[in-house]
């Protein structure tokens, strides 16, 4: 069980900046995100695209913004719990009890929901056996590529994730790349490499085929794939990897008794609190008149929510407004040498 001042749901840009705002006023945060990486939409949807409207940064990419936000919170040594979805929340005396999909439990007086458009989830295979073998032969992401060493692997998908992994795993596994169309959607460079590897016999491309069923008892032994003419073929394989992109689901948030307005959480703009005491919503997921779904708006929302968290985390202390330029306690928290 992990006790903290604030549990932040979402490691997108807004969740990250909220860590900084909390840290400056002496509050500790733990961050949970369903993705396998930090950065939310910036990292997942547009890591290399330029952003032009972050205050005082004329141009940055989704990736560099995430990197700088992480650099800014380094002094607070924040724990990130990735690949975990917040499933349940319940009230326990003056605290919230938060349970994740990996059964991790957090106890905190405050929750900040910085969940963006909901949790990113992989699009999955539609055949019924896929669920049975999920994480035991069927995978939608790769945590440790060495696991696939010397195995026979079927990779499905036509985008860069499928192509990248086909190229990478072909170095030490037997790879069959299956796609429902003849043309791949990845960058030309990746497509070129994959075709070259196919010619050299280092991978096998199978198009236009889709999965039809998965065979095996305790583990996968083979799959059946089908083309547009209904022709079915069997491929012997140890694992099946699906890279069909991500979908965004509001997910368990809908079950927490929060007021919702068209998949968004209405908040009070004085402190970004929801209809529940101690639960705040900031960033793309919150709704109020005039809301702009911009990163800079989320930063402001995080600053106000952080101050409101102070009241519940330190009920016997009075919050004092201070500038970072001149506040000694802030400098200490940042690990700066105090003059």
Q: Which of residues 29, 98, 117, 305 is near ligand FAD by CB under 6 A?
A: 117
CB of 17 to ligand FAD, least distance (A): 8
Give whichever of 278 and 302 is closer to ligand FAD, judged by the CB atom.
302
Beta-carbon contacts of 229 under 8 Å, excluding residues fewer than 6 positions away, are none
* Type and span of the H or E element at 331: helix 328-333
Give whichever of 76 and 148 is closer to ligand FAD, judged by the CB atom.
76
The residue count of the chain comes to 339
What span, in angstroms and rounded, lies between the C-alpha atoms of 17 and 31? Answer: 11
Q: Which of residues 7, 9, 27, 304 is near ligand FAD by CB under 6 A?
A: 9
For position 14 contacting ligand FAD by CB under 6 A, the verdict is: yes
Secondary structure in 3-state letters for 123-149: CCCCCCHHHHCECCCEECCCCCHHHHC
Q: What count of other Cβ atoms lies within 10 Å of the Cβ of residue 320?
A: 9
Q: Select from 111-119, 167-175, 264-272, 304-312 the region that touches ligand FAD (CB under 6 A).
A: 111-119
Tally the C-alpha atoms within 13 A of residue 124's C-alpha that lie toward its C-beta. 14
Which residues between 260 and 319 bind ligand FAD (CB under 6 A)?
283-284, 293-296, 298
305 close to 272: Cβ distance less than 8 angstroms: yes
CB of 200 to ligand FAD, least distance (A): 36
Binding mask 29-68 for ligand FAD (x = CB under 6 A): ---xxxx----xxx--xx----x-x---------------
Residues that bind ligand FAD (rule: CB under 6 A) add up to a total of 37
Q: Which of residues 206, 252, 258, 333 is near ligand FAD by CB under 6 A?
A: 252
Tell me if the bond preceding 208 is cis, omega within 30° of 0. yes
* Type and span of the H or E element at 61: strand 60-61
Q: Which of residues 8, 21, 30, 85 is near ligand FAD by CB under 6 A?
A: 85
CB of 50 to ligand FAD, least distance (A): 8
Q: What count of other Cβ atoms lies within 10 Å of the Cβ of residue 337?
A: 6
CB of 214 to ligand FAD, least distance (A): 28
Give whichever of 9 and 163 is closer to ligand FAD, judged by the CB atom.
9
Q: What count of other Cβ atoms lies within 10 Å of the Cβ of residue 258?
A: 17
CB of 54 to ligand FAD, least distance (A): 7
Closest of 5, 147, 128 to residue 78, by C-alpha: 5
Binding region for ligand FAD (CB under 6 A): 9-15, 32-35, 40-42, 45-46, 51, 53, 85-86, 114-120, 251-253, 283-284, 293-296, 298
């Amino acid at each position: 069980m992990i006790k903290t001042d604030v549990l932040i749901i979402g490691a997108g840009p807004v969740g990250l900046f909220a860590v900084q705002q909390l840290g400056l006023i002496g509050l500790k945060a733990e961050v949970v995100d369903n993705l396998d990486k930090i950065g939310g939409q910036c990292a997942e949807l547009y890591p290399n695209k330029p952003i032009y409207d972050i205050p005082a940064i004329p141009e940055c990419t989704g990736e560099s913004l995430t990197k700088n936000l992480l650099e800014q919170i380094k002094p607070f040594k924040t724990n990130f719990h990735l690949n975990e979805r917040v499933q349940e929340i319940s009230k326990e005396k003056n605290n919230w009890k938060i349970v994740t999909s990996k059964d991790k439990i957090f106890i905190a007086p405050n929750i900040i929901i910085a969940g963006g458009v909901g949790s990113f989830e992989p699009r999955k295979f539609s055949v019924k056996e896929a669920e049975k073998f999920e994480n035991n032969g069927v995978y939608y992401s790769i945590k440790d590529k060495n696991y696939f060493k010397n195995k026979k692997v079927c990779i499905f998908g036509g985008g860069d994730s499928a192509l990248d992994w086909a190229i990478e795993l072909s170095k030490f596994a037997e790879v069959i790349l299956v796609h429902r169309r003849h043309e791949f959607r990845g960058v030309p460079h990746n497509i070129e490499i994959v075709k070259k590897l196919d010619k050299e016999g280092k991978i096998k491309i199978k198009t236009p085929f889709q999965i039809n069923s998965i065979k095996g008892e305790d583990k996968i032994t083979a799959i059946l794939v089908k083309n547009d003419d209904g022709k079915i073929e069997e491929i012997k394989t140890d694992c099946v990897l699906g890279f069909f992109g991500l979908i965004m689901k509001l997910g368990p948030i809908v079950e927490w008794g929060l007021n919702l307005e068209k998949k968004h959480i209405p908040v009070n703009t004085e402190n970004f609190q929801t209809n529940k005491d101690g639960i705040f919503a900031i960033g793309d997921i919150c709704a109020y008149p005039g809301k702009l779904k911009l990163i800079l708006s989320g930063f402001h929302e995080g600053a106000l929510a952080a101050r409101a968290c102070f009241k519940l985390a330190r009920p016997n202390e009075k919050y004092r407004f201070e500038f970072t330029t001149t506040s000694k306690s802030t400098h200490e928290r940042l690990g700066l040498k105090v003059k």
